Amino acid sequence: MVIKKEKKIENKKDEKECSCGCGCGSDCQCGCQENGKCTCGDSCACGCQENGKCTCGDSCACGCNNMPKWVRPAVTLISALTISWAILTVGNQINRPCPYAFQSKSAGFIGNGKGVQPNGMMKMRRSVEMNEAAMRDFIMKNPKVLIDSVDAYYQALQAKESAAVKEEPKEAPKEILEAIITDSTNHVLGNEKGSFVIVEFFDYQCGWCKKTNQEIAKALKNAPNIRWILIDAPIYGPDSERIAGYVMAAGKQGKFKEMHEAVTNSQGRLDEDALLELGKKLNLNTKKLAADANDKSVQDKLNKNKELAQKLNLRGVPMLIVDGKIHLGALFGDALEDAVKASNAQK
């Protein structure tokens, strides 16, 4: 850690001042700048903060923007220590074989009789002696290398996330969407003949799926043109499949919507007894409910849904198709409001 000392410059109006406000002038020696950017961190004493607020502008690199003061340095320190540990232990790992490597020179690996090792790593061993003492000496003399690498990583990550947000949603394949809309075995809520179609792949044990289900149900009150098609995609195993089966079975007694809402708004684990209790509260025939839930037709339907999900390259739930466009993640807030407005405009 570099401890900065305040340096007062008086009567140097002819000298170009340091842009971060430290008062050092063009020959700034306080370490607060690198390539024109402030590098003070939380212990800023160069003037880049005023009343706890950053004054660096868009080029801020001091970590005082957009997060609590302790977050950036804490994450950076932990990351740096992790990298240090990895570097210091590489010497012990270099002699170990890579059991999962392809035994192919074209793939960049060569055999050595003991196993398979990366070709580049072997060359490194021949060109430089790698040992803990040398690496520790390098880290101690160049600690800023680790900090800079972590900062560069976070900047690149933020840029990537920002670009992802700006990406236009992809169109769902028309043949798949048409197959979903025309499949009479799918359960539909809202307007069954609405021209604005929302298809949702979900799991009843997924918290964001529950949130989406609750918010869309509310939105339907002000969106009479939305056709909401629900596709069970139980990705969390047998428990999720059982829950989906019971909701489908309730549909055979004309109570799909009621069971769907009961399960969506439930708290805690839904085992078979809990599902039967929900059915009892809805005045369902619980014996028929249990029989239908375990019928082969339910598993066949879930398998069909799985095939659809695979065709759409589903990697998680909830995933929705909103008016023909794929929407990844939960749907609520501004995105749902936009969908409601668009649906009403189609009437």
CATH of the domain at 189: 3.40.30.10
Do 60 and 76 share a domain, yes or no?
A: no
Do 199 and 240 share a domain, yes or no?
A: yes
DSSP string, 137-206: HHHHH-HHHHHHHHHHHHHHHHHHHHHHHHSPPPBPPHHHHHHHHH-TTSEEEE-TT-SEEEEEEE-TT-
pLDDT at 344 over 90: yes
Do 90 and 8 share a domain, yes or no?
A: no
Residue identified by tokens 């000496």 is 137
Do 278 and 203 share a domain, yes or no?
A: yes
Q: Which helix (H) or strand (E) holds 71?
A: helix 71-93
20 lies in which domain range? 1-66
Do 130 and 215 share a domain, yes or no?
A: no
Ranked by mean pLDDT, which of 55-59, 71-75, 87-91, 240-244 comes out on top? Answer: 240-244
What is the per-residue pLDDT for 169?
A: 77
User: What is the average per-residue pLDDT within 154-168?
Assistant: 60
What is the per-residue pLDDT for 221?
A: 95
Instruction: Give residue-wise pLDDT tens across range 181-220.
Output: 999 999 999 999 999 999 999 999 999 999 999 999 999 9
Do 160 and 182 share a domain, yes or no?
A: no
What is the per-residue pLDDT for 32?
A: 54
Cα dihedral 91, 92, 95, 96 sign: negative
What's the domain count of the chain?
3
Q: Exposed, middle or buried: residue 183 (CB in 10 Å: 0-12, 13-18, 19+)?
A: middle
E strand residue ranges, the chain: 33-34, 37-38, 49-50, 53-54, 109-111, 116-118, 187-190, 196-202, 226-232, 319-322, 325-328
Closest among 207, 212, 202, 199 to 336, alpha carbons compared: 212
Q: What are phi and psi of 33, to 5 degrees?
A: -130, 145
Do 210 and 268 share a domain, yes or no?
A: yes
Cα dihedral 309, 315, 317, 318 sign: negative
pTM exceeds cut of 0.85: no
Least confident of 10-14, 198-202, 340-344: 10-14
What is the per-residue pLDDT for 49?
A: 53
What is the per-residue pLDDT for 142?
A: 73
DSSP 8-state symbol, 113: S
Instruction: Give residue-wise pLDDT tens across range 218-236.
Output: 999 999 999 999 999 999 8
Whether 233 and 205 have beta carbons less than 8 Å apart is answered as no
How would residue 124 be classed by pLDDT, with cut points 50, 70 and 90?
A: very low
Spatial separation of the C-alpha atoms in residues 201 and 305, rounded to whole Å: 9
Do 279 and 193 share a domain, yes or no?
A: yes
Of all residues in the chain, the percent with pLDDT exceeding 70 is 53
